[in-house]
A and B are shown apart, each in its own frame.
Chain A
């Protein structure tokens, strides 16, 4: 169960968590007429079966899990309907939003499950029941146009990190492969080693999307359940407009980095927000 995350607790050592692909979660909610931050079900790589005990309006957004329903569209389903999602065919994640939201407990202001620590509960299991809420704000919307496409070869746009000057252009010299050890805390990459010429630093706060260079030089992209502080230097940081790409990366995917300016990053985010609000 995820919403857009639990903010305001990093100084207590708790990162925000939230949807790994916030763009798909927001879109799924907006399409069924919910506020964008309603909790929705996040599926990662494997799907699941969901039986509806009443009529509902739902939307699936994100990767194609072979559910046999149009993606990025509000769809009416009848009581007794079973939604069957298999393994993901494109990216890594999809979101199931239900008109009215999901009636699930908020912990510290968010329904997001912080899987690694158990803050906000646990991942759903077979047999769990989830109540549908009544929190919609408008009517269901027409299907989204120009929805994101997923590819096993991602170009991730980054801005310079706080220790960018410690590194030469190694990060941009070739392709990296997403490791199997990737989880919601960090996306581990294998590829050209990042040589750090700057030395040692004091532990400092780290943001979502930070690209850390540990001593072995193999980058780790800090993800939604990231640690709040860290002592490894950071040559770059994923831009906000590409956070959704992080949530759709699968083990063995190929990633290349592209450096952009802060101004360009802000502009790209503005374009993305415009797309969302066109839904």
Chain B
């Protein structure tokens, strides 16, 4: 683990460069044991790291580093906080998944087989981030990995289910994006009046359930 200042009010806590289940568990444990401590204002988890925003009026960098290190040490063997199992109904292909055929071509499977493989496993929300509440899903069967589009779309519809390289994700808002769109859910992933706004949270397990297209 390395802890370095990222700005005059934040620390970058890194658990290595390798995206793995082990680093994900360490990130989750870090968020769980640092959340709510007075003077720690925000935690930004990612694949292998957590950015810790602190109140620079309360802590120096040295004090913040000591606090973070001792918390992580004290909780190093804690079981990871439990996640929930969330089922996401998806309609695949056609207008709702315009890149499904490209994924099939790239992987050498039929579109039906891509959907079958994609829905045969559970995914884990590694973290939510990017522009707003975007869930980064780990667990995509390696044979379905497909490179991103060479030029991102200007407008990806809300609820689009997508593959970006070895990752899967769901667009919580309509936004620009370069991932391959294979289907769409009508579930609302981002609700500005819900507390907290994202339906999917770090550590949740996700199961995609195919819905018949009409």
Binding site for B on A (CB under 8 A): 7-16, 107-108, 114, 116-120, 159, 161-162, 185, 202-210, 227-230, 234, 237-240, 262, 265-266, 269, 273
Chain B residues in 8 Å Cβ range of A15 = 42
Q: Report chain A residues within 8 Å CB of B14.
A: 204
Q: A14-B198, A159-B8, A205-B45 are in contact. List 5 more A-B contacts (CB 8 A).
A: A10-B51, A202-B46, A203-B136, A210-B6, A227-B130
Q: Are A116 and B53 in contact (CB under 8 A)?
A: no
- Is the C-beta of B207 less than 8 angstroms from some C-beta in chain A? no
What distance in Å separates the Cβ of A94 from its nearest Cβ neighbour in chain B? 25
- Please classify how large the interface on chain B is, using the bins under 10, 10 to 19, 20 to 34, 35 or more: 35 or more
Compute the total of residue contacts between A and B using a CB distance below 8 Å.
Answer: 149
Interface residues in B161-196 (C-beta closer than 8 Å to A): 172-173, 190, 192-193, 195-196
- B residues within 8 A CB of A119? 192, 197
Interface: B49 (CB within 8 A): yes
The winner among A10, A14, A117, A240 for most chain B CB atoms within 10 A is: A10
Complex partner residue of A11 from B44, B61, B172, B192, CB under 8 angstroms: B44
Q: A117-B190, A262-B61 are in contact. Are A14 and B19 (CB under 8 A)?
A: no
> Once the chains bind, are B197 and A11 in contact (CB under 8 Å)?
no
Q: Enumerate B110-126 residues with CB–CB distance to A below 8 Å.
A: none
Given known A-B contacts A162-B12, A269-B8, A107 and B193 have beta carbons under 8 A apart: yes
Question: Does B60 count as interface, using CB distance less than 8 angstroms?
Answer: yes
19 A-B residue contacts at CB 8 Å?
Answer: A7-B41, A10-B42, A11-B42, A11-B127, A12-B196, A12-B201, A14-B132, A14-B197, A108-B196, A116-B132, A159-B8, A185-B131, A205-B44, A205-B50, A228-B128, A228-B130, A239-B7, A262-B61, A269-B57
Asked whether B45 lies within 8 Å of A237 as measured between CB atoms, the reply is no
The answer to whether residues A11 and B8 also contact, given A205-B44, A228-B44, A229-B127 and a CB cut-off of 8 A, is no
